[in-house]
Structure 1
Amino acid sequence: MASRPYESYTKKEREARLEHNPFSFLHIVNPGYKYKKEISGKQRFSLVKNRFLEFKEDEIFKTEEQAVFLLHQIHYRNGDIFSGFVGCCHAEDYNQNKIKRHEETLSKRVSLFTNYLKTVRFNTDPVLLTYPKQNALDEITAEVIQNRAEYEFTTTSRETHYVWIIKDLAQIEAIETAIAKISHLYIADGHHRISSSVMLSNEMALENDKHTGNEAYNFILSYLIPENQLKIREFNRLVKDLNGLSKEEFLIRLDEFFRIENRKQDYYKPTYKHHFSMYLDGEFYSLYLRKNHQIFQNALDELDAQILNNFILKPILGIADFKNNKRVTYAPAQKDMAYVKGKVDAKKYAVGFGMLPVQIQEVKQIADEGLSMPPKSTYIDPKLRSGICIHEF
């Protein structure tokens, strides 16, 4: 029943699941499939709500009789294990900056998703929140997993999920107490989801003359995970052209900011901050930001993705809109520099860049300074599935 995000499937994958699995959550998020028609806007939102209600009526979804936490553990095929508590955070904690963000959101996208939530009145994609390691929460996790999980399933990509339902009142109180002692939570993934949920909460509070702050619309479905468990990987960059420059002119422009070494066919991956890998015209290069340019005003300036933007993409390659410019493509870490090499060799792109992954302390420092990271600065695991747990409001 649980599914990946809708857009992560190819059209053929989606159609196969919709055709052969009547229980897939994709039937809810793609309600037009029943009528073999693409449906959008308010009509789609209403049909999503109808499909959801049908799943409840057929008892595919069952409501817990009391308030609970979930412990959701994910085992990846590479040996990584992620354990997090699923519950709800309060919109006011976001408004008061107790939940900190490190990315900008697109107002149009937030507004659209707010209208969606206002119609469907449920949320099934937890915001990924992280916190410094807490011994008390680790101890509760160790205690809970001694029992058999209520739910266990393995996906076609060989991730195994275990879900424990925490109903014991003493354990619930211990979790709440431990989380209450944490000064700040940080958004690891889900900036648009939490922004739209908070916008909805604020709107509904204004519309409710008897608003108390305890209504279900004030709470946001969240997955809380210790920061030492997060896996942060990089996005590589691919650029269509050299902005009218020849290869030699481009290298000369780079030389102003970077020490350049031609690695020929030697596969190069950076091992230090402010070092970059570049693949150009059949050869690898290492780029080291010159020390006289390592003068940083804040945590954002020191971020490698920002350095790439400030010293290469914007001034040399003429790319200023990093979110929407179609000349630049972002490839997640699993599409490594070998993938980048293949794309450049195939003449689909002129040049590719790689860098080190961002560290969690960099993310937190940028959030603490109230700054926003460039698009596609981090690829963060775990990736959560839709439909495992749902918060209605």
Structure 2
Amino acid sequence: MAVVKPFCGLRPVPELVEKVASLPYDVMDSQEARAITEKNPYSFLRVTKSEVDLEPDVDVHSPKVYAKARETLRKFINEKILVQDETPCFYIYKQKMGDHVQVGLVAAASVIEYQANRIKKHELTRPDKEQDRIQHIVTSEAQTGAVFLTYKADESINALMQANMEKPPVYDFVAEDGIAHTLYVVDDAAQVSAIEKAFLNINDLYIADGHHRSAAAGRVYDLCLQGNPDHSGFEEYNSFLAVIFPHNMMYIMDYNRVVKDLKGKSPEQFLQLVAEKFSITEQVGAYKPSRIHTFGMYLAGKWYSLEAKAGTYPEEEPVSKLDVNILQHNVLSPLLGIADPRTDKRIHFVGGIRGMAELERLVNSGEYAVAFSLFATSIEELMAIADAGQIMPPKSTWFEPKLRDAIVVHMVPCAKYLPQCHENN
């Protein structure tokens, strides 16, 4: 069963939501964030990337960066830019990008369910990124970014969501990138109870995006548990901020690769080696794969389609037959020497939202030698791998549209349980 709880969300006042709501902290660098906040002082990036209000050469993991996040969040609260709901609520978050619409439940997901693997994972986390999120939570006493969860679609939940979208939304705006964001507050006690009960019939939740956020919430829970002799199980640190979408509304885009050099090979030599494992056809223009086990390759000003030959990958093993692994094991590792794409500096990953033109631009600039376009991993593949307890390769999925930070924030009062953490900030 899936345990989800309502909570007292901290939210922008309606007249400022369009200015406050921001893209996630991890889709831009500090320089890009600084440019945004210089034009818009209400941007929540001042909390999630708080180095923008400090000197440009500051270490982004410095204690004063986290302290600045706490200071700015309190400032937004004191100035009534953000206001906390007085009673626990669920929230329904609708997004529209072009023709694609997705509707998710904003809720407090269970840390215990996560630690028991009833909220299933499919990626490894990096200790440095995990520690960054831990420090941000304990210093700001808030979970400012949601974990993106999914579940196998259920008609009873769909009906409840639709019923609660019949009343007027509290937010309805189109962001600068053209994506529409709509939020409904579910504060009726009977409806809140009905949603909680409906999710108890869901066997598993799956992390689509946000492995570091959820892992950090788990570590904060452990720390607070140690520091709270009166632990009841009802404290806010027992849960983490999540937006939960049915699997049939998920939109996964391709996640493409570019490599800096051909490891000493000429383009002609490289093509010959690739042809040992792939059928190659030169294309007139940019090639975006339309089915699994096919790839695009941009090399020396030309596009090629690649189709993996039979026998070059295990067809029954769910992880090894992923397109990202077929490319990794047949090209990137043996031909280009990229044994670990997680750490190798010669490879760069390009989200499909940037299109084929971005791959061409990177190679034509001379900074990269070859680009590969991939067919998007499916949500069914992701779930099958998570069900099997296996791990997907890095940068396998690119979800769109991105959840906006600050639409709803989950406050996690924890200073009294972790005084040592706050003494260092």
Same structural fold, with TM-score higher than 0.5 when normalized by the shorter chain: yes
Cα deviation, residue 351, structure 1: 1.3
Q: Which residue of 1 aligns with 2:217?
A: 197
Cα deviation, residue 183, structure 1: 0.6
Q: Which residue of 1 aligns with 2:129?
A: 109
Q: Which amino acid aligns with 2:82?
A: F
Aligned length: 391
**1:175-195 alpha-carbon deviations (Å, 9 max, x no partner):** 111111111000011010000
Normalised by the length of structure 1, the TM-score is 0.94
Output the aligned Cα RMSD.
1.9
Q: 1:188 aligns with which of 208, 213, 234?
A: 208
Cα deviation, residue 256, structure 1: 2.3
1:316 aligns with 2:370: no
Separation in 2, partners of 1:31, 1:192: 19
Q: Unmatched 5+ residue regions in structure 1?
A: none
Q: From the superposition, tell whether residues 198 and 285 of structure 1 become closer, same or farther in structure 2 (CA, over 3 Å).
A: same
Q: Which residue of 1 aligns with 2:13?
A: none
Separation in 2, partners of 1:7, 1:139: 34
**1:162-213 alpha-carbon deviations (Å, 9 max, x no partner):** 1111011111111111111111000011010000011111121122212222
Q: Which secondary structure state, in structure 1, belongs to the residue aligned with residue 291 of structure 2?
A: coil
1:45 aligns with 2:90: no
Q: Map residues 40-189 of structure 1 onto 2, 5 A cutoff.
A: 40=60, 41-76=62-97, 78-189=98-209
Q: From the superposition, tell whether residues 262 and 162 of structure 1 become closer, same or farther in structure 2 (CA, over 3 Å).
A: closer
Cα deviation, residue 15, structure 1: 4.0
Normalised by the length of structure 2, the TM-score is 0.87
Q: Which amino acid aligns with 2:191?
A: Q
- Contact 1:236-1:336 within 8 A present in 2 as well: no
1:339 aligns with 2:358: yes
1:372 aligns with 2:391: yes
Separation in 2, partners of 1:30, 1:106: 19
Q: Which secondary structure state, in structure 2, belongs to the residue aligned with residue 71 of structure 1?
A: strand
State the identity %: 32
Q: Unmatched 5+ residue regions in structure 2?
A: 1-19, 413-425
**1:358-391 alpha-carbon deviations (Å, 9 max, x no partner):** 1111001111111111121111123111111111
Q: Which secondary structure state, in structure 2, belongs to the residue aligned with residue 337 of structure 1?
A: helix
Q: From the superposition, tell whether residues 328 and 30 of structure 1 become closer, same or farther in structure 2 (CA, over 3 Å).
A: closer
- Contact 1:277-1:286 within 8 A present in 2 as well: yes
Q: Which residue of 1 aligns with 2:404?
A: 385
Q: Which secondary structure state, in structure 1, belongs to the residue aligned with residue 160 of structure 2?
A: helix
- Contact 1:124-1:388 within 8 A present in 2 as well: no
Q: From the superposition, tell whether residues 32 and 365 of structure 1 become closer, same or farther in structure 2 (CA, over 3 Å).
A: closer
More deviation in 26-35 or 50-59? 26-35
Separation in 2, partners of 1:281, 1:356: 22
**1:263-288 alpha-carbon deviations (Å, 9 max, x no partner):** 3x344332332111112122222222
Q: Which amino acid aligns with 2:221?
A: S
